[in-house]
Amino acid sequence: MNEIISKINELSHKYRDYTAQNLSKLIQIKSTSMYEKEVQLELKRQMEEAGFDEVRIDGLGNVIGRIGNGKLILAIDGHMDTVDVGNLANWTFDPFSGEIKDGYVYGRGTVDQKGGPAAAVTSGRILKELGFDRDLTVLVVGSVMEEDCDGLCWKYLVEEEKVLPDFAISTEPTNLNIYRGHRGRMEIVVKFKGLSCHGSAPERGVNAIYLAAKAALEIEKLNERLPSDEFLGKGSVTISEIKSGSPSLCAVADYAQFHLDRRLTWGETKESAVAEIQDIIKDMDATVEVLYYEEIAYTGLKYGMEKYYPTWKIPAEHIAVTTGVDAFKQLFDKDPIVDKWTFSTNGVTINGYYHIPIIGFGPGNEVFAHAPDEKVPIDHLVTASAFYAAYAYLIPLSD
């Protein structure tokens, strides 16, 4: 195994420029959620060029590259859609230049998170060059629509494509640390019903905005008392949007609603989070609704899921985690940091719904996610491409 690990390290450095150039090509293609077609075709081309045994695009638009045909399945996932660039004045370079300079690749999506799939393509090339022949199938997945709806792509892969891996790696940015979980989240709308009347005599009506305001103050207090987990941290809730309506600007508002961003720590559930809000509004004419996402993918397929994304964490002693630690040690002769994400990932379905053991390991620092002047160190791409290949060699094929 020492010889294989040494060869993986050698090849990851040999293909340093190849990986950076592949990522640059992906960055030059704008690919917000539901508009990923062109970048998916480029990713497919790159997998084919790297010698993958099979490359296909599924009905939702995910690219699936296969190496090997073994009994066990390892999936390496990275989403190919990005957020938009925001205010261009905040950028000091073209977000879609894909420029390679001073040891970095620059542009929107370098960190969140086309860098991971680009490194995984190189891992596939390394595995093929080494004649990988373990009883393991490696799937590299370039997934879609994650920025709009975390995990929707994997709901489709599991339920419609019947892809059910034994292990998975998320290539979301971890700053080259190994991550084993993150808080869950859900999106909730609370709607308040009032009674309109002329604004000159507000006492005749019931102002829905006042109801919403009273509830908002209680939600602020709720946030302070939410439980905490030693590893994942504290649950949280915040109001991210508020709307109201009335017959005119000279009338009492008969309708109001606000949108809640709810982050769930270990032990919290959809039901417990909804019950907390229902308790706050129990004496009001108001309703609580967990939102549902349904949109049309670039393939033309309409698909959706409830916007409840479960909390998940993998025990530090789980083989999925210890294999990652072992791969890192053997490759780089030092101990990795094992931690968690602040944000949410496709892990909410991969493990949260389907209980597939998953870890995170990805190039780039998450502080650059969704931020201007996004860039990823090429050294991170090299490290990640070596890690994914080594993991495929080291994951046990039986208990």
> Which residues are part of the catalytic machinery?
81, 146
Q: What angle do CA 137, 138, 140 make, to 5 degrees?
A: 145
Please give the full DSSP string across 192-249, using - where no structure is assigned. Answer: EE-B--BTT-GGGSB-HHHHHHHHHHHHHHHHHH--EETTTEE-EEEEEEEEEE-SST
Q: Which residue has tokens 């990805």? A: 362
Cα separation, 25 vs 37, whole angstroms = 14
A 10 A CB-CB count for 399 gives 4
Q: What share of the chain is helix, strand, coil (3-state, %, to 5)?
A: 35, 25, 40
Question: Measuring CA to CA, which residue among 63, 34, 35, 37 is closest to residue 50?
Answer: 63
Cα separation, 158 vs 350, whole angstroms = 9
Cα separation, 61 vs 260, whole angstroms = 30
Strand bridging mode 63-67 / 136-143: antiparallel
Q: What is the dihedral of CA 289, 290, 296, 297, to 10 degrees?
A: 170
Q: Which residue has tokens 């099979």? A: 54
Cα separation, 129 vs 10, whole angstroms = 12
Q: Give just the sign of the alpha carbon dihedral 162, 163, 166, 171.
A: negative
Cα separation, 23 vs 114, whole angstroms = 7
Q: Which residue has tokens 């994304």? A: 309
3-state secondary structure of 290: strand
Cα separation, 18 vs 50, whole angstroms = 10
Main-chain dihedrals φ then ψ at residue 359, nearest 5 degrees? -125, 165
> Which stretch of DSSP H or E encloses residue 100?
strand 100-101
Question: Measuring CA to CA, which residue among 386, 346, 300 is closest to residue 57?
Answer: 300
Cα separation, 39 vs 29, whole angstroms = 6
* Pair of tokens at residue 212: 């919403």
